[in-house]
Chains A and B, each alone.
Chain A
Amino acid sequence: MTRFLLGRTALFALGLVVASVLIFATLRLLPGDVAQSIAGTTGSPAQVAALREQLGLDRPIAAQYLDWAGGLLRLDLGESLVTGSPVAGEIAEKLGVTLPLAGLSLVFGLLIGVPAGVWAAARHRRPAGLVVGVGSQLLAAVPAVWLGMLLIALFAVTLGWLPTQGWPLDGWQDPGRALRSLVLPALTIGIIEGAVLLRFTRSAAIGALDQDYVRAAAAKGMTLDRALLRHGLPNVMLSVVSVLGLQVVGLVVGAVVVEQLFTLPGLGRMLVTDVGRRDLTKVQGELMTLTAIVLFVGLLVDVAHRRLDPRLREVER
């Protein structure tokens, strides 16, 4: 286990280094720069040139990269090219919205996907099960923006239960309102992610149906649902956990779209704004943070998988 952990951590670190180069290089391909963005339509060419020099944009690319990467090693993400405030502080503040959003989305996704998947698997030869199976295929392909607008129209505009968009002015100091602001956005991502989870759970559970231990339990007199839940679920959860690692990427992409639609001041919305302004130091910090989160969850999933699956544990011993 120790060797496995060390190897996996080294892979994690290598992933971050590669990501830092890719992110830095790709962003340099964008046309235009932050000096032009700050000067806008009214600034003179002389103003743009002065800004460029002041912000160090005229320095060699390699030197700019080394400066930034050196800062990363000290966990210093640098300062925004537009406002001059520390990037790490702003990201931490936005994560206060995005992480709870992603967490709640995952909870909704699991609450929808796993029970419905097991239920549909037990009925996979009957019409009801088929309908759920096909329905999940459709739902997984629905654009988040469209689903979000439907949910807003129903729950916020027509029924008036939840806010249409926005984040409370006091943030988490007003936890009730903050949570209410997150319900519809999280449901939007959760339903789509849940549909994906449903498909994986369903096919894993259908596989478990044919296993001897489920059939034996059913033969002893358990109902099929109960046999699946009690004996099939632990095996089904293994494949769900593996899929979760991939789902995190979906959560991040979902957050970018959904934060825009619901005007939530999170990392995704900030990312879109900062790319538009070419505030590259901030964009780099944001992308590195997201990459680190995705890679770290991948690491956790691998470790969890090894802990959960007795077969893998035995190989170790």
Chain B
Amino acid sequence: MRPSRLLVPVVAAAASLALLAGCTAGGSDAPRGGSDATVTVGLVLEPSDLDVRTTSGIALDQVLIDNVYQGLVGRTQDNEIVDVLASEHTISADGLTYTFTLQDGVTFHDGAAMTAADVVWSLQQVADDESLAGHADLASVAHISSPADDTVVLTLSQPDSALLFALTGRAGLVLEQAATNDLSTTANGTGPFTLASWTQGDSLRLERFDDYWGEAAGVAGVVFRYVTDGSAAINATLSGDLDVQTAVDATLASQFDGVDGISVEKGQTTDKYTLAFNNAVAPFTDPRVRQAIRMAVDNDALIAAVGGSAVDQGGPIPELDPGYEDLTDVDAYDPDQAKQLLAEAGHADDLDLTLEYANFYPAAIGDVLTTQLADVGVTLTVQQVDFTTWLNDVLAPPADGGTRDFQLSMVNHAETHDFSNWADPTYYWGYDSAPVQQLYAESLAATDPEVAASKLAEAARIVSEDAPAEWLYTATTLTAVRDGVTGFPTSSTSTRLDLSALAVSE
């Protein structure tokens, strides 16, 4: 091995690599403007599978519903219900008959025309098969039929004020009865975009559907990139690899300050960061302990620690959902009162508690809570575990049917319209309140949406006063958008992302 022979290939290899990097440098294409543009969007959580029928989780709703799959009705980013595949809908005065008139000229991505039979079949499948996502939402539906080619009628066994909103989600999606595509990796919907490709662990690509029944999408394509690391995502946006970045980490958002060509937008969410107590076990069976912990939490300090991008909510219903009212005055921050309640309950300075939560949530939450609870004499031990471990330890009911074996849990309940969990005594926090269950049933039975909402508000206040959990904060989401990109939603971006209005200026 003579040095000259060794050195030549080494130098050649190094030179060619440098050359290659140099030649293609600057290859991150700025988006071309106008209708030919492709917009690259950074997301965080990737779906495990694309089957909208069986795979739960908002990561799938986020990319596919509205863009690829549609239902008779849909919702805006602010949770208002709008007609989509139905041109109009009516609800009978007794709340038992829902009549939908179908849009004309709707075609699936494979070219087949959408018929009333497809709609009936799609809904019937969810209603019949309990393993499908959204099945429980259709519990009140007794009969689904199509009396005319352009009409679908749902007949209910009892009024259900939650049904129409549920139809904006998984339960109401319309698929083609005759299609045979593999739902796990492909999609055949009616939306403004087709699913072009999915590289698991990297990206998912949508293309404009040229035969779309409504107004065509404003861009030729959208590429969703899944970047889990918060700093990596910001770097990608700063360097131009991403045109839009959703769910910007608020503690890092200052990196965009003073950067030309990128603006950061704020939007509301239903991301309820909930510190739940195991109400079924001691010491949480004592309401004084629960109230004391609620009073020991200084929500404003906690919000500051996670970057300031959140609001205090005080109860189980967020501002975007019906039944919201400001409940921050219930068990507000008061460490002295907390200490007194703990002393009355016989836990002066000797309460040891364990908090378990998933490791993708900020460690700062556990740190701040440890400090704040220490101020009232509670020693908190924090365990951050992976999400499936949390599901196993906290959410899953014990195999022997006994009580769950956890004390405190923290999770982001991101779903919208999910008050029903507080009316379900089998849910993991073990909260069993007859008045709340009664009010929730009355809310469902109400035929007037305003009555339904006021019943929910009444129930939410009782829940907050019973203190089965502390609602730490509701997140405000940050979206970084490159100049020239318009029509990108800013609210509820982790649950839905309707990109039909997305455009890039020339």
User: Are B48 and A260 in contact, with the CB atoms below 8 A?
Assistant: no
User: Are B386 and A276 in contact, with the CB atoms below 8 A?
Assistant: yes
A97 shortest CB reach to chain B, Å: 9
Cβ of A310 within 8 Å of any chain B Cβ, yes or no, is no
User: Are B232 and A169 in contact, with the CB atoms below 8 A?
Assistant: no
Cβ of B176 within 8 Å of any chain A Cβ, yes or no, is no
Nearest A residue to B221 by beta-carbon distance? A169
A264 to B133, CA, bound (A): 31
Residues on A with beta carbons closer than 8 Å to the beta carbon of B226: 263
B292 shortest CB reach to chain A, Å: 27
Cβ of B391 within 8 Å of any chain A Cβ, yes or no, is yes
Cβ of B149 within 8 Å of any chain A Cβ, yes or no, is no
A267 to B238, CA, bound (A): 27
Binds A, one of B20-28, B119-127, B302-310: B20-28
* Contact A165/B391 with A40-B57, A270-B201 known, Cβ cut-off 8 Å: no
Which chain A residues numbered 1 to 43 have a C-beta less than 8 Å away from chain B?
A: 30-33, 36-43
User: Are A180 and B1 in contact, with the CB atoms below 8 A?
Assistant: no
Contact of B48 among A38, A180, A262, A275 (CB under 8 A): A38
Contact of B241 among A166, A176, A179, A237 (CB under 8 A): A166
User: Are B27 and A180 in contact, with the CB atoms below 8 A?
Assistant: yes
Nearest B residue to A153 by beta-carbon distance? B235
Residues on A with beta carbons closer than 8 Å to the beta carbon of B232: 152, 164-165, 261-263
Residues on A with beta carbons closer than 8 Å to the beta carbon of B241: 163-166
* Contact A37/B201 with A153-B235, A176-B20 known, Cβ cut-off 8 Å: no
Binds A, one of B94-102, B281-289, B392-400: B392-400
Residues on A with beta carbons closer than 8 Å to the beta carbon of B390: 32
Which chain A residues numbered 43 to 67 have a C-beta less than 8 Å away from chain B?
A: 43-48, 50-51
Nearest A residue to B390 by beta-carbon distance? A32
User: Are B388 and A276 in contact, with the CB atoms below 8 A?
Assistant: yes
Nearest A residue to B395 by beta-carbon distance? A41
User: Are A32 and B392 in contact, with the CB atoms below 8 A?
Assistant: yes
Binds B, one of A194-202, A226-234, A245-253, A295-303: A226-234
User: Are B200 and A43 in contact, with the CB atoms below 8 A?
Assistant: no
- B interface, size bucket: 35 or more
* Contact A265/B387 with A165-B227, A233-B1 known, Cβ cut-off 8 Å: no
A48 to B130, CA, bound (A): 11
Residues on B with beta carbons closer than 8 Å to the beta carbon of A30: 388-389
Contact of B24 among A46, A85, A176 (CB under 8 A): A176
Cβ of A161 within 8 Å of any chain B Cβ, yes or no, is yes
Nearest B residue to A158 by beta-carbon distance? B239
B400 shortest CB reach to chain A, Å: 13
Contact of A230 among B3, B10, B14, B23 (CB under 8 A): B3
A85 to B130, CA, bound (A): 24
Residues on B with beta carbons closer than 8 Å to the beta carbon of A179: 20
A47 to B56, CA, bound (A): 11
A104 to B168, CA, bound (A): 49
* Contact A226/B3 with A46-B130, A165-B232 known, Cβ cut-off 8 Å: yes
Nearest A residue to B51 by beta-carbon distance? A83
Residues on B with beta carbons closer than 8 Å to the beta carbon of A183: 17, 21
* Contact A85/B184 with A32-B391, A161-B25, A163-B239 known, Cβ cut-off 8 Å: yes
Cβ of A160 within 8 Å of any chain B Cβ, yes or no, is yes
User: Are B136 and A276 in contact, with the CB atoms below 8 A?
Assistant: no
Which chain A residues numbered 202 to 233 have a C-beta less than 8 Å away from chain B?
A: 226, 229-230, 233
Dominant secondary structure at the A interface: helix
Cβ of B257 within 8 Å of any chain A Cβ, yes or no, is no
Nearest A residue to B48 by beta-carbon distance? A82
Residues on B with beta carbons closer than 8 Å to the beta carbon of A83: 48-49, 184-185
B237 shortest CB reach to chain A, Å: 9
Residues on B with beta carbons closer than 8 Å to the beta carbon of A45: 396-397, 426
User: Are A156 and B235 in contact, with the CB atoms below 8 A?
Assistant: yes
Residues on A with beta carbons closer than 8 Å to the beta carbon of B223: 169
Q: Which of B13, B17, B185 has the most chain A CB atoms closer than 10 A to its own CB? A: B17
* Contact A177/B27 with A41-B411, A166-B241, A263-B228 known, Cβ cut-off 8 Å: yes
Cβ of B225 within 8 Å of any chain A Cβ, yes or no, is yes
Which chain B residues numbered 306 to 344 have a C-beta less than 8 Å away from chain A?
A: none
Residues on A with beta carbons closer than 8 Å to the beta carbon of B185: 83, 85
B229 shortest CB reach to chain A, Å: 6
A165 to B10, CA, bound (A): 27
Contact of B21 among A43, A157, A161 (CB under 8 A): A161
B 41-81 binary contact with A (CB < 8 Å = 1; else 0): 00000101100001111000000000000000000000000
User: Are B228 and A36 in contact, with the CB atoms below 8 A?
Assistant: no
A224 shortest CB reach to chain B, Å: 13
Cβ of A242 within 8 Å of any chain B Cβ, yes or no, is no
A20 shortest CB reach to chain B, Å: 23
Residues on B with beta carbons closer than 8 Å to the beta carbon of A157: 235, 238-239
Residues on B with beta carbons closer than 8 Å to the beta carbon of A180: 20-21, 24, 27
User: Are B27 and A233 in contact, with the CB atoms below 8 A?
Assistant: no
Which chain B residues numbered 1 to 49 have a C-beta less than 8 Å away from chain A?
A: 1-3, 6, 10, 13-14, 17, 20-28, 46, 48-49
Residues on A with beta carbons closer than 8 Å to the beta carbon of B228: 260, 263
A 245-285 binary contact with B (CB < 8 Å = 1; else 0): 00000000000000011111110011001011111000000
A287 to B393, CA, bound (A): 26
Residues on A with beta carbons closer than 8 Å to the beta carbon of B21: 161-162, 180, 183
Contact of A278 among B229, B388, B411 (CB under 8 A): B388
Cβ of A306 within 8 Å of any chain B Cβ, yes or no, is no
Cβ of B197 within 8 Å of any chain A Cβ, yes or no, is yes
A44 to B232, CA, bound (A): 36
A277 to B55, CA, bound (A): 12
Cβ of B413 within 8 Å of any chain A Cβ, yes or no, is yes
Which chain B residues numbered 163 to 212 have a C-beta less than 8 Å away from chain A?
A: 184-185, 197, 199-203, 205
A261 to B229, CA, bound (A): 7
User: Given A160-B25, A230-B3, A265-B203, 15 more contacts at CB 8 Å?
Assistant: A32-B392, A37-B388, A47-B130, A82-B49, A83-B185, A111-B10, A160-B239, A160-B240, A163-B239, A163-B241, A165-B241, A167-B199, A180-B27, A230-B2, A265-B200
Name 19 interchain pairs, CB-CB below 8 A, sorted by A. Answer: A32-B391, A33-B392, A37-B48, A37-B391, A38-B48, A38-B55, A47-B131, A83-B184, A83-B185, A90-B200, A156-B235, A160-B28, A162-B25, A163-B236, A177-B24, A180-B21, A229-B6, A266-B201, A276-B386
Of all A-B residue pairs in the complex, the 8 with the closest CB atoms, nearest first, are A32-B392, A265-B202, A32-B388, A265-B201, A229-B3, A164-B235, A40-B56, A36-B391
